[in-house]
Amino acid sequence: MDEIVKDFLIESNENLDRLDQELVKLESEPSSKELLASVFRTIHTIKGSCGFLGFARLEKLAHAGESLLSRLRDGKLSLSAEITSGLLAMVDAVRRMLAAIQASGQDGEEDYAPLIELLTRLQGEHAVASAAAVSPKLPHSLPATVTQAEAITTVENAPQPLPDPSLGKPGRKPRRRKESPDATTVDPQKLATMTPPPATHADQASAAAPPAPESRNPNAAVETIRVGVTLLDQLMNLVGELVLARNQLLQFSNSTQDAGFQAVSQRMNLIATELQEEVMKTRMQPIGNLWNKFPRTVRDLALGCGKEVRLVMEGQETELDRTIIEAIKDPLTHLVRNSMDHGIEAPETRKRAGKDPAGTLTLRAFHEGGQVNIEISDDGAGLNGPRIRQKALERGLISAQQATTMPDRDVFNLIFLPGFSTAEKVTKVSGRGVGMDVVKTNVEKIGGAVDVLSTPGRGTTVRVKIPLTLAIIPALIVTCGGERFAIPQVSLSELVRLDAEDQGKGIELVHGAPVYRLRGRLLPLVYLDRELGMRREAGNSASQTAAINIIVLQAEDRQFGLIVDEITDTEEIVVKPLGKQLKGINAYSGATIMGDGRVALILDVPGLARRAKVIAAARETAHDEGHSEAAAAGIRDEHALLIAENGTEGRVAIPLGMVARLEEFPRTVVEHAGAQEVMQYRGQIIPLVRLSAIVPATSDAEMLANAGSIQVVVYSEGKRTVGLIVDRIVDIVEERATAESLAPRAGVVGSFVTQRHVTDLLDVPAIVRAAVPGLLDAAEPEAGRV
Amino acid sequence: MASQQFCTFLLDGYLFGVPVPQVQEVIRFHDMTPVPLAPPAVEGLINLRGQIVAAVDLRRRLGLAERTAGELPVNVVVRTPDGAVSLLVDEIGDVIEVEQSTFETPPETLHASLRATILGVYKLDGRLLHVLDKDKACLAADLEPTAAGR
């Protein structure tokens, strides 16, 4: 049976039990608005769910009950004994239908027409009665008795047999049991009238069979019980403790010779391990549980938008913590709807594009690096890069300069900004511009990340990366100042170890702020002990002979290096919250218990970065010069290359890592200092280097002279900054450039092919040195001083 | 409510107490993990059977003299609205029953740091029992949470 139907059964059975109690209670307190509202909600929920699951008969019955209740709720009708029994009869009928669903997957074939008729009649007749006799101010004094008296007559006059006219009394359950046999004896007869004409005794006999499988299939409600997550958490805590005690026991048993004791502790060891695994499992659920509803969503949406879509699901068995499944439910639904609405094209469009008219929507889930990856891919039209650029520009989300220089990958991620929508029209499904930002926020809330990849005409893939569980995370255990700290692996990029002899060249200072050159890029460094204000014990200082451990961490869009005394291990840790006394400190996100039973603090990487002003600084630059975000994103990739035009024909590439900024200036900013072209830039005078002067190219001099602005690639080394004037910035590509050297040329490492053009890979430091001799060399002693 | 039972403990020679129902347990000195940047009164974190509990040094919290080195405090684990908190005290005393009639609010002259956390005193034979407001005592956040405070 479908997981979703099972859930529905469990939930409905629970609801029905409550309904029994509430209806009975309602009879004694007919004026209780709260009770009435609650009963109404319950019936409404059942009606809604069975409509969704396609149990039409059940829905019809629940609908009749709901209509009756809505009149009661609106005060158009007051509750009488008859209405109560009518409602209870409905509850019982619903229960029988649920049992039928449980047994056969169908909502039974019992005829509920008389009951529905009764429920409908109860609405009408009493409306009249109450209109005539009930003054709304006195719902349960004299008029109530009048209705009750009438109720009895209605029961007597009722032409159809009532399922059970007995009034709601305490102890409903035994009554229900008694009733069940009645129901089954009624069943075959009703069934006989509905089965095809040849139906005879044989059919009746087979119709009477259902109770048998029912007893073989015990109630789903009995097979599963609902347990609070808090209880499971407690259980996990205790198991964690047990594991620790077990470890100590094992150590102890190793030091004794008692064979009996060793055997017992060995068994204890196995049991504890198994117990731990099982308890962990209680919180895990396959993602398939969540995906089960998508086939229907997709089908309905496809019908709604007139598209043909095939849904492919891979990795349904991938398990996730329950709380995470809950948290990603809405974001995933949204992404699926989005792909359906915007991604996959209409069948005719697809045919014209030479694609299969039926689109494919693929959901993929897999584990990778301690995280769960969920991909929602479609083979639709892909994201429209130029259009996103244009929209983002219109809305002022990016600057004109960014619109031209931003790499596609970053452009695509603009769709996650609030209020962004490129949809031509707002449809029922999506296009209002809310949603993608909510998706991103929700995913990030649970420590995940969203990324979008798209190829025009080929489709879009949204990748959601989420932690396996919120309760247990892989972490790096480090030691600093004699204490252990855990660093969540999610924020970890890499580890760098500087041996004693490398230290001199490793760590440099920029205005007193320590930095490390990580593959040619400056990485701000943070000393954990200083940041936490820990007292240094003598002989423990980082500036001494011992090797330096740098943990490269990712906080928001920034990388920074955290210096610790020692890197111990990676471990799965159980995250526990900190008490109120320590909530105010942004350096920790929680605490955990280590193998030896001691507590270790979990570092809050973004918090720490903010404390150390790593992120705040990053934000500032992002504001005053919007491009840096895109640049930062590119820099992370070593193979990102900035492609520029040199002259009308030549193309050059500069490793993006060497580019501090890309700027566009009016031609008039160029001034002269002696023969050197210079410009004022951020309170500095920077020399300008014309690329064409160093790397000759066929250039259209007239065109250059007429151009109103210049494109400047700002290059920094140490404290020195140089502007490199190029003719036009073309693109940023990600490519591992294997440059071949055709003929040695000044300032060119070699040539390679990208975007079908031969492109020269520039040696920027060499160009700068050639153009402004002595500039960089003069800067070096200063930068090199540690 | 004529009489009430108090779990008593000593702090710098003074007798303190919290009502017995508020005390979860009393345990011997426990290995502790210090928390850098935490308020000075927070001595560290202890692992109480899988539960991580902050330990508040009551001497420091109440502005009393520091415990001499080598003297191991005792953990009195109290229940608070935000979960268990361990109060570090010098020595644990008896559970005593006190008459409500012997209660008095603290005198005006009491040191300000104590006034906030002491509900009053019970006049016992020959000594005074200070009633600790454990919820306030656990709110170490009142004290400046700076590294410089250490």
B83, A579: Cβ pair inside 8 Å? yes
Structure tokens at B72: 């191991």
With a cut of 70, say whether residue A503 has pLDDT above it: no
With a cut of 50, say whether residue A610 has pLDDT above it: yes
Mean predicted confidence (pLDDT) in A516-531? 86
Mean predicted confidence (pLDDT) in B108-131? 82
Residue with the two structure tokens 């250059």: A704
Among A251-260, A531-540, B34-43, where is mean pLDDT lowest?
Answer: A531-540
Calculate how close chain A gets to B111, using CA atoms only, in Å: 23
Among A411-415, A722-726, A737-741, B85-89, where is mean pLDDT lowest?
Answer: A737-741
B148, A533: Cβ pair inside 8 Å? yes
Cα separation of A667 and A664, whole Å?
A: 9
What pLDDT is recorded for position A364? 93
Q: A306-364 pLDDT, tens per residue? A: 888 888 889 888 888 777 888 888 888 888 888 888 788 888 888 888 888 888 999 99
Cα separation of A145 and A122, whole Å?
A: 16
- Largest interatomic CA distance in chain A: 114
What pLDDT is recorded for position A143? 39
Cα separation of A644 and A650, whole Å?
A: 9
B45, A583: Cβ pair inside 8 Å? no
Instruction: Give every strand in the sheet of B103-104, ordered side by side.
Output: B91-99, B3-11, B14-19, B128-132, B118-123, B103-104
What pLDDT is recorded for position B19? 92
Q: Which has the higher per-residue pLDDT, B111 or B13?
A: B13
For residue B34, the chain A residues in CB contact (below 8 A) are 483
Question: Distance of CA A306 to CAs A341, A351, A423, A739, Å?
Answer: 10, 14, 17, 50
Domains of chain A: 3-223 (1.20.120.160), 229-286 (1.10.287), 288-467 (3.30.565.10), 472-616 (2.40.50.180), 635-784 (2.40.50.180)
Coil, helix or strand for A569?
strand
Calculate how close chain A gets to B45, using CA atoms only, in Å: 7
A585, B37: Cβ pair inside 8 Å? yes
A584 close to B (CB below 8 A): yes
For residue B139, the chain A residues in CB contact (below 8 A) are 580-581
Structure tokens at A690: 């014309």
Q: Position B119: which residue type?
A: L
What pLDDT is recorded for position A200? 40
Residue with the two structure tokens 């080394």: A717
Domains of chain B: 3-142 (2.40.50.180)
What pLDDT is recorded for position A174? 39
Tell me, letter by letter, the H, E, C secondary structure of chain B: CCEEEEEEEEECCEEEEEEHHHEEEEECCCCCECCCCCCCCEEEEEEECCEEEEEEEHHHHCCCCCCCCCCCCEEEEEEECCEEEEEEECEEEEEEEEEHHHEECCCCCCCHHHHCCEEEEEECCCCEEEEECHHHHHCHHHCCCCCCCC
A584's CB contacts (< 8 A; 6+ apart) are: B141, B145
With a cut of 50, say whether residue A491 has pLDDT above it: yes
Cα separation of B75 and B86, whole Å?
A: 6
Cα separation of A3 and A509, whole Å?
A: 60
Q: A578: which DSSP letter? A: P
Q: A125-146 pLDDT, tens per residue? A: 544 444 433 334 433 433 333 3
* Whether complex ipTM tops 0.95: no
Question: Distance of CA B61 to CAs A255, B31, B91, Å?
Answer: 43, 20, 16
**CB-neighbour burial class of residue A724 (10 A; exposed 0-12, middle 13-18, buried 19+):** buried
A588 close to B (CB below 8 A): yes
Cα separation of A217 and A211, whole Å?
A: 10
Cα separation of A404 and A393, whole Å?
A: 10
- B76: confidence class by pLDDT, cuts 50, 70, 90: very high
Q: Which of B140, B149, B63 is closest to A584 using CA atoms? A: B140
Q: Which of A483, A581, A584 sits opposite B54 (nearest CB)?
A: A581
Cα separation of A283 and A302, whole Å?
A: 34
Residue of B nearest to A575 (CA): B52
Q: Which has the higher per-residue pLDDT, A256 or A742?
A: A256
Calculate how close chain B gets to A300, using CA atoms only, in Å: 47
Q: A421-476 pLDDT, tens per residue? A: 655 544 444 444 446 777 887 787 677 788 888 888 888 899 888 876 666 677 89
A428 close to B (CB below 8 A): no
B145, A576: Cβ pair inside 8 Å? no
Cα separation of A131 and A23, whole Å?
A: 23
Among A22-31, A193-202, A759-768, where is mean pLDDT lowest?
Answer: A193-202
Q: Which has the higher per-residue pLDDT, A423 or B41?
A: B41
- A375: confidence class by pLDDT, cuts 50, 70, 90: very high
B33, B46, B61, B134: best mutation site toward chain A, by most A Cβ within 10 Å? B33
